[in-house]
Structure 1
Amino acid sequence: MTDTRKQRISDAFGAAAAHYEAHAGPQRFAAGLVADLAQRQHPGGEGAGGAPRILEIGCGTGLLTRDIQARWPAADLTATDISPGMLAQAAAQGRVAGTFLTMDGEDPAFDGPWFDLILSSLAFQWFDDLPAAVARLAGLLRPGGSLIFSTMGRGSFMGWRAAHDACGLPCGVPLYPTLDGLRAMLADHGDAFAFDEEVAIEGQGARALLAHLKGIGAVVPDEGRAPLSAGQLRRVMQAYDAAGGQDRYQLLFGRVTR
């Protein structure tokens, strides 16, 4: 891996792997909904050759991976993640059978139509070029196959952004796509849709928010954003708490069928 930002992302999530699931309420919700959508799309779970071929992008500690195997126990499953630490945690669960592969989802180690389902939950927000990645992954689908994913939406962490604005400081949270933007991007694909859901972050106050983000390893700022100084961070935390100290995720869900 040569991209230094991608390496930082890999390292941060690897460091969080052992305690990730204790902090992953919204992530658990998103993974479950991705699996629900996939089962509606492929209720029998059969691919063209019998057992479906399923690729998971960004498996993390295996929240979605375990759900996939429970729903499609005979699947030929390949679970991938950019972080070897996360991948090892998923593979060590003992409840999942499949191939585990360290891989950047933007640069898949596959070519041509191969999979019946490509599933991903809350990994695409780390991609450098989301439209190109979606097109590349959709090209790996067999006829009738579906790419189903969740990613972060622009409405995520609005309270935290507002606290930075109140302090006149730049926020390291990326400008995630809007729902309309995702729909416009997916319009390039013939059979596609997108929708959103909102999930509150448990706990109140800046300390709870930062503990959640650190707990899941989401600590790498947007490209070109330096971390705040200790004093700047204290000011933002105070502004966030003064405004109520609560925040939420906007989760975007998309499906592309070939």
Structure 2
Amino acid sequence: MQITSNKKVLKQQSVKDSVNQVNVTSTDTSKKIINKKAVKASFSKAAGHYDQFADLQREIGHQLFDLMPVNVKQSSSILDLGCGTGYFSALLREMNIKASLTCFDLSPQMLQQTAQRKLTSCQYVEGDIDAQPFTAGQFNLIFSNLVLQWSEQLSLSLQQTHHALKNDGNLCFSTLLDGSLFELQQAWKSIDSAVHVNHFLSKEQVLTAVKLAGYQQVKIFTETRIKKYPDVISVLKALKGIGANHVHNRNNKQTSNRQLLNQLELGYQPFKNQDGDYNLSYQVCYIVAQK
């Protein structure tokens, strides 16, 4: 059972049916080549107006909050891994006002936005999710909303979170799965064979990465969310507005040619709904794991 749009039904796969059946000797196929300098520049450019376009990120982050066990919300040392503008950093602070809070992001401009929230007992750390600087057992809780899809190798990034957690500490993260942005990908395919949409991991690859990182107690939830836009330009602006318009393995030039946009509009026609809206689907995965 999956959800579409705003229905509040999640598909949960039990630990027995998922993580425990992953062969830890299997090949980790999660490795990707990502230009982190370009990703950093893209998100830094979007920092000032990110919150205007981040409704999907807020929806998914609130769902991740709802999935966290009650006892996790009393964590005394918390890491917001990929904090962005600090929207959820602020909620994590409200969740436990006595906890120490670390806000970590690749973009200094995003950290500046977070700092403007003037969160108490908070430190700001600039860095890469694939090269985390934290010490062993530093945190009780690591929260990460729609960030880990930017990891070059998810299993190694998750190993670092495992290292940074105290015994019995918890990792709660959301990420996107393959099939996300399907409509946009297919619309581009009607024009050329170039890469226009990033590659996302499958649910099985995410589970393998979690297991290889050393997590044993794991719950996974999946859902489909569909956003609606009035035209294809709005689709592209929504991605650009949150800095997610960088595409790996491609020269990321702006799409400004009117003829090209008209072609993209035509390619998108099969994915318009009955009201004439342009659908854009996101396959979302939530992981709640204990060290």
Q: Which deviates the most, 52-61 or 185-194?
A: 185-194
- Counterpart mapping for 1:57-72 below 5 A: 57-72=81-96
Q: Which deviates the most, 237-246 or 189-198?
A: 237-246
Answer yes or no: is 1:146 the counterpart of 2:170: yes
- Give yes or no for contact 1:206–1:241 (8 Å, CA) kept in 2: no
Answer yes or no: is 1:182 the counterpart of 2:195: no
Q: Counterpart of 2:226? A: 200
- Whole-Å Cα distance in 2 between the matches of residues 42 and 211 of structure 1? 36
Q: Counterpart of 1:226? A: 251
How many angstroms does 1:95 deviate by?
Answer: 4.8
- Whole-Å Cα distance in 2 between the matches of residues 213 and 154 of structure 1? 17
Q: Counterpart of 2:287? A: 254
- Whole-Å Cα distance in 2 between the matches of residues 163 and 236 of structure 1? 6
* C-alpha spacing 1:192/1:225, structure 2 compared with 1 (3 Å): same
Q: Counterpart of 1:10? A: 40
- Whole-Å Cα distance in 2 between the matches of residues 160 and 4 of structure 1? 21
- Whole-Å Cα distance in 2 between the matches of residues 30 and 95 of structure 1? 22
- Counterpart mapping for 1:135-174 below 5 A: 135-174=159-198
- Give yes or no for contact 1:213–1:219 (8 Å, CA) kept in 2: yes
Answer yes or no: is 1:132 the counterpart of 2:151: no
Q: Counterpart of 2:237? A: 211
Count of aligned positions: 249
Q: CA RMSD in A?
A: 2.1
* C-alpha spacing 1:200/1:142, structure 2 compared with 1 (3 Å): same
- Whole-Å Cα distance in 2 between the matches of residues 178 and 113 of structure 1? 29
- Whole-Å Cα distance in 2 between the matches of residues 127 and 120 of structure 1? 12
- Whole-Å Cα distance in 2 between the matches of residues 179 and 41 of structure 1? 27
- Give yes or no for contact 1:115–1:142 (8 Å, CA) kept in 2: yes
- Give yes or no for contact 2:34–2:152 (8 Å, CA) kept in 1: no
Out of 5, 20, 28, the position equivalent to 2:50 is: 20
- Whole-Å Cα distance in 2 between the matches of residues 211 and 247 of structure 1? 13
- Whole-Å Cα distance in 2 between the matches of residues 130 and 101 of structure 1? 20
- Whole-Å Cα distance in 1 between the matches of residues 53 and 228 of structure 2? 9
Question: Unaligned regions of 5+ residues in structure 1, if any?
Answer: 47-51
- Whole-Å Cα distance in 2 between the matches of residues 185 and 128 of structure 1? 12
TM-score of the aligned structures, taking structure 2 as reference length: 0.79
* C-alpha spacing 1:15/1:248, structure 2 compared with 1 (3 Å): same
TM-score of the aligned structures, taking structure 1 as reference length: 0.88
How many angstroms does 1:232 deviate by?
Answer: 4.4
Aligned-pair identity (%): 25
Answer yes or no: is 1:238 the counterpart of 2:263: no
Q: Which deviates the most, 230-239 or 103-112?
A: 230-239
